[in-house]
Amino acid sequence: MNELALFAGYGGGILGGILLGWRTVCAVEIDDKARQRLIARQDDGSLQPFPIWDDVSTRILNMAITYEELVARQEENRAAFGRMLLNWRRTNGWTQYTACSWAEEAGFEAISYGNLSVIEQGKAGELRQKAFRQLGEINRRIAEKDWGPVKSQAIKEKLRGAIPLGDDEYPAWTPLEIWACYCGLREVPEAFRTTPRFGTRQAQPD
């Protein structure tokens, strides 16, 4: 069962819902300290990621949407997020295996190609915090050109000229911006709204 947690407080009711098998898709809490506690519980893994709104009157009543419409929007946001990752990967001329092969050689943890595939298809369901951290680490390394000890010339060629996920405000997204896009709280960057043909990456300066 999906739950829209109104007046969520510090999350005790949400944790109780988890014991009942419920899945929280959104929470509303006006108190700032309580919202910060909910965010902290998402960060430490006690709660799965979900949007946290601050005012039930402006966010729910004035939006005049049904619960079913809210869930539909969530599914649309996740589908758009998956398409963005696909477009980003293809823009860089990467296959689904590139990030994993790079991480294995460089010695860091990356999202698995199987998980990446289902996310791109919009079929992954609720993502754990680990996935956003892994995507954020890949993005950071691209932005900083922190390739690590890579020996494979094929991987080096894929990394050369790769561009990070980002927008005008944040040119290189951290796990927070990536999560916000997944939730629909941040728009897909213009550069990744269309899917390029594979292998058509434009070379970028080193």
pLDDT digit string, tens, across residues 163-181 = 999 999 999 999 989 998 9
Query: Given a cut of 80, is residue 84 above it in pLDDT?
Result: yes
pLDDT score for 20: 79
Provide the pLDDT for residue 205: 40
Q: What percent of the chain is predicted at pLDDT more than 90?
A: 46
SS3 of the chain: helix, strand, coil, percent, to 5:
50, 5, 45
Give the pLDDT band (50/70/90) at residue 82. very high
> What's the pTM value of the predicted model, to 2 decimals?
0.67
Looking at every residue in the chain, the average pLDDT score rounds to 85
Supply the pLDDT for residue 57.
57
Whether the per-residue pLDDT at 67 is higher than 70: the answer is: no
The Cα 188–Cα 167 span in angstroms is 8
Q: What is the pLDDT of residue 185?
A: 83
Give 59's pLDDT tier (boundaries 50, 70, 90). Answer: low
pLDDT for 66 = 67
From residue 139, give the alpha-carbon distance in Å to each of 45, 83, 104.
Answer: 22, 17, 16
pLDDT in tens, 121-132: 988 777 888 999
Arithmetic mean of pLDDT, 84-110: 94
Alpha-carbon distances of 194 from 91, 95, 143, rounded to whole Å = 10, 17, 21
Model confidence at 3, pLDDT cuts 50, 70, 90, reads: confident
pLDDT of residue 203: 40
pLDDT at 167: 95
111: region left, alpha or beta (phi > 0 left; psi from -120 to 50 alpha): beta
Residue whose C-alpha is closest to residue 124's, from 165, 79, 86: 79
